[in-house]
Structure 1
Amino acid sequence: MTRLTDHLIVISFDCLSSLDIPMLEELPNFKELLEKGAHCKNVETIYPSVTYPCHATIVTGRFPNRHGIINNTFLQPGASSPDWYWHRKYVSGTTLYDEARKAGMKTAALLWPVTAKAKINYNMPEIFANRSWQHQIPVSLANGTPLYQLEMNRKFGKIRKGLNQPELDDFVLESTVDTITAKKPNLLLVHFVDLDTQRHYHGFSSEEAIAAIRRHDVRLGKIVEALKEAGIYQDSTIVALGDHSALNESKAIKPNVVLKERGLIKIDENNKVLSWQAYCKSCDGSAYIYVKDEHDLETKHTVHGLFESLVEDSNSGIERVLTGEEAAAKGADGNAFLLIEAQRDYYFKEYLTGEFIDEITDNDVKEGRYTHASHGYSPEKDNYTTVLMAAGKGIKPNTTIPSMHLVDEGPTFARLLGLDLGDTDGQSIDELLKV
């Protein structure tokens, strides 16, 4: 297959939405990318539309139930901080960076989800210390490229303030610029989280979110300048994309509270889960309902009846119930017994105690119990699409694609690099490309 570019730079601006396009059209660097190259303002995301499944889809071209990353975090009932799908080993099948490496290309990834211990030449994976005895730097070093990460920390570590934003993205930016100029990778994947963080904690259209988009425009400009400084700009393709949108919410639904009341979850005086027959695993705007024993027909009957009755109650916040088979047909985890969808203004939490529905206060958000906006909702929700913009070598200029799907991105990127991702759910959008 003919290779269309020498250097592919994929920049994920987490939570960038189609609704942001009017603002992007006014910002200098996004505006230039939109005007110079090809773009799609309506990219349909996956179900559930949360960050880790989305980013696995972007590099595989497959839906979550095929690549295996069906949520951000694992089903660990009662855990206050469940482990995330950090590691490459959880992705089924091949990825864009695997195929690039096999083809002899130089690869780099900065905070790209689900890349811990991946075979990437210069890898700074998104992973954090999730145990009280762990420290962030050793955890990162053990799961990525040690010497590369030590070099980036030595040069730019003083910028960081733990995992706080915007400092973390500022650190990632400087590391990205240095990687471009010093390493000149053929494939670079970089993940910025500033906007997603501001939307979670301040709301979709908050001043803080708008400020984050402005910072992202500056970051995009600095990456373009780095390509020019490295002397590879003319041989490069720049892609800026979002993984999902977000919706504001003011109420949190706690399905595990009613499952506990039905005797399907048992806890001790410290709220530790002792046993469970059914459990709600949140994906924010949607949630999986798992039944521990697939042969437990009595529990299944009880659980299905419970959630069907909640859907009929307009005050429950639950919009729809899908069976596991229906969820699988939409690309979600078919091993779940049910998949439930929240109404607008609601989202799901796994808490086991308190009221079934909580009104979210600013103090709740400040103390980390809840957020003001979230994602994970069905891609069928109105005004919930994301975006893709591309320019440079191999991209048709002045081209607009009316609509595409997140699963199409991986095959399109593979086509640019002359690679094949195999049996994908999406297809290369050749209308974007100079094929």
Structure 2
Amino acid sequence: MKKQRLYMISLDAFGAKDLAYARTLPTFKYLLERSALVEKVETVYPSLTYMAHTSIVTGVYPKTHGITNNTYVQPKRKSPDWHWYAKDIKVPSLFDIAHEAGYTIASFLWPVTGRSKAINYNLTEIFANRPWQSQVLISLWSSSPKFVFNLERKFGEMRNGIKQPELDHFLTAGIVDTIHTKNPDLMAIHLVDLDSTRHEFGVDTKEARAAIKRMDDHLNQIITAMKEKGIFEETVLALFGDHYQLDTHTVVRLNQLFKTQGWLKESKAGMIQEWDVLAKGADGSCYIYTKPGVNLADVRNSLEQHSEQIEAIYTQEEAADLGADATCSFLVEAKKGYYFVSDSDGPFLEEISRAETTAFHKGTHGYSPKKENYETTLFISGPGINSNARIPSARLVDEGPTFLHAMGLEFPQAIDGKVLATLFN
């Protein structure tokens, strides 16, 4: 079987609303003119990066693939561990299927790929989360060590830890080098600068537009390398967002509320030690977990007192129907402008300063995919793709099946997504 080369480029926090500005930039304009377009793509719920990226490569919703939040439920930890490792995914991924078909795979910061057995050249998205860990060592341990060591040796001076935009500059240099030296059959790329920028400055800001402009330059470098290698015309190139963001003005601490109700206790250091009811934030939404014996009607009643901040309260069954964690007791959705954090150490509501630097997000995600003007997008080009195809809407879970179809492969398991057949000749 002839292997069909595929490059998947995830533009973190790039929304359908960004297309208008993107079309004014040279590389985006060039790509959009030669691509089929799915204008609006519905993300998953809660719409967080790790859940979204795992749904893209599995074709199923979070409750099925097992990544139902970015981080683990670890209330005793100030900084919970993230789902960095591929072993957390409960179903075969696009990487597993391509690997079995003999594909050479390179991955750059694609979430939930740590220590993947399927990926040949892997630079994992991970950070040192313990005082004794070093960023370089944890990256080497979770990734392909020789590959990452060489990237560090060649381009390490471009990087400033995991800070942006330097990290995406380092990433792009590594991608260009990998195209020339490794020429993988499948490339998975995750550009994160825009997401970080929107968290720090807000959604529709001059800083966000500057980040999209930097993204345009990164794409230009990647395409130039593909053309120099002579592989551009024969590669299926898919570019897509994972979620959009919304501006925020207030942080909500539901665990502070639960503390006043006597449902959880803190240590002197302000860490949650014991709990009967626990809020696990997912930014624009929040999971509520309860221990056996808790009266759920009391918990619901407590939440209903805060309708100014909470838009919807979903039961366990409703959360599962939405594709979210089927083990939660409730899933609550924030009203626009509000978002949830997991700590209990601070006021129930805390206003976010727009004027100065803050630890809080001025823009964020995690909200329901049904929120207005919250869709992301997908454009795809290359062999077998009908560049004139235009689809008004699809779902994130449709992307993986569609990408595999472009490669002549398919998922072995039952999936929630479907192949977007209209995109093909």
For the residues of structure 2 that align with 1:72 and 1:273, how far apart are their CA atoms? 19
For the residues of structure 2 that align with 1:144 and 1:418, how far apart are their CA atoms? 28
For the residues of structure 2 that align with 1:419 and 1:85, how far apart are their CA atoms? 27
Is it true that 1:302 corresponds to 2:295 in the alignment?
no
For the residues of structure 2 that align with 1:362 and 1:343, how far apart are their CA atoms? 18
Shift of 1:362: 4.3
Shift of 1:181: 1.4
Q: Which amino acid in structure 2 is aligned with residue 98 of structure 1?
A: D
Match of 1:94 in 2: 92
Shift of 1:85: 0.4
Match of 1:84 in 2: 82
Match of 1:356 in 2: 348
Q: Confirm or deny: 8 A CA contact 2:107 2:188 kept in the other structure.
A: yes
Match of 1:346 in 2: 338
Counterparts in 2 of 1:384-395, with a 5 A limit? Answer: 384-395=374-385
Match of 1:337 in 2: 329
Shift of 1:397: 1.4
Q: Which amino acid in structure 2 is aligned with residue 179 of structure 1?
A: T
Match of 2:269 in 1: 270
Q: Which amino acid in structure 1 is aligned with residue 423 of structure 2?
A: L
Q: Deviations over 1:159-184 (max 9, x none)?
A: 00111110000000011111111111
For the residues of structure 2 that align with 1:367 and 1:387, how far apart are their CA atoms? 30
For the residues of structure 1 that align with 2:57 and 2:375, how far apart are their CA atoms? 19
Q: Deviations over 1:59-79 (max 9, x none)?
A: 001100000000000111142
Counterparts in 2 of 1:167-186, with a 5 A limit? Answer: 167-186=166-185
TM-score (norm 2): 0.97
Instruction: Compare 126-135 and 345-354 and name the one that shifted more.
Output: 345-354
Q: Deviations over 1:333-378 (max 9, x none)?
A: 0100000000001111122133211111147x7342x110100000
Match of 2:421 in 1: 430
Match of 1:134 in 2: 133
Q: Confirm or deny: 8 A CA contact 2:288 2:330 kept in the other structure.
A: yes
Shift of 1:134: 0.1
Match of 2:224 in 1: 225
Q: Which amino acid in structure 2 is aligned with residue 296 of structure 1?
A: G
Q: Which amino acid in structure 1 is aligned with residue 361 of structure 2?
A: T
Q: Deviations over 1:221-270 (max 9, x none)?
A: 11111111112112111111100000000111110011000111111222
Q: Which amino acid in structure 1 is aligned with residue 58 of structure 2?
A: T
Q: 1:383 aligns with which of 373, 378, 381?
A: 373
Q: Which amino acid in structure 2 is aligned with residue 201 of structure 1?
A: E
Equivalent residue of 1:100, what SS?
A: helix
Match of 1:252 in 2: 251
Q: Confirm or deny: 8 A CA contact 2:242 2:376 kept in the other structure.
A: yes
Q: Which amino acid in structure 2 is aligned with residue 415 of structure 1?
A: H
For the residues of structure 2 that align with 1:6 and 1:148, how far apart are their CA atoms? 24
For the residues of structure 1 that align with 2:125 and 2:199, how far apart are their CA atoms? 18
Match of 1:149 in 2: 148
For the residues of structure 2 that align with 1:354 and 1:219, how far apart are their CA atoms? 40
Q: Deviations over 1:168-223 (max 9, x none)?
A: 00000011111111111111000010000000000001111100000101111111
Equivalent residue of 2:171, what SS?
A: helix
Q: Confirm or deny: 8 A CA contact 2:28 2:216 kept in the other structure.
A: yes
Q: Deviations over 1:23-74 (max 9, x none)?
A: 1111111111111120111000010000000000110011000000000001
Equivalent residue of 2:233, what SS?
A: helix
Is it true that 1:327 corresponds to 2:319 in the alignment?
yes
For the residues of structure 2 that align with 1:347 and 1:210, how far apart are their CA atoms? 23
Match of 2:406 in 1: 416
Equivalent residue of 1:235, what SS?
A: coil
Match of 2:116 in 1: 118
Shift of 1:7: 1.1
What is the RMSD of the two structures over their aligned residues, measured on CA atoms?
Answer: 1.3
For the residues of structure 2 that align with 1:78 and 1:349, how far apart are their CA atoms? 14
Q: Confirm or deny: 8 A CA contact 2:50 2:69 kept in the other structure.
A: yes
Match of 1:192 in 2: 191
Is it true that 1:405 corresponds to 2:395 in the alignment?
yes
Is it true that 1:64 corresponds to 2:74 in the alignment?
no
For the residues of structure 2 that align with 1:170 and 1:249, how far apart are their CA atoms? 28
For the residues of structure 1 that align with 2:95 and 2:237, how far apart are their CA atoms? 16
Counterparts in 2 of 1:24-39, with a 5 A limit? Answer: 24-39=22-37
Match of 1:159 in 2: 158
Q: Deviations over 1:383-414 (max 9, x none)?
A: 00001111112211122111100000000011
For the residues of structure 2 that align with 1:362 and 1:381, how far apart are their CA atoms? 23
Q: Deviations over 1:68-102 (max 9, x none)?
A: 00000011114211100000000011011111110
Is it true that 1:282 corresponds to 2:278 in the alignment?
no
Runs of 4+ in 1 over 6 A off after TM superposition: none
Match of 1:20 in 2: 18
Q: Which runs of 5+ in 1 are unaligned?
A: none
Equivalent residue of 1:233, what SS?
A: coil
For the residues of structure 2 that align with 1:303 and 1:65, how far apart are their CA atoms? 23
For the residues of structure 2 that align with 1:371 and 1:352, how far apart are their CA atoms? 17
Equivalent residue of 1:209, what SS?
A: helix
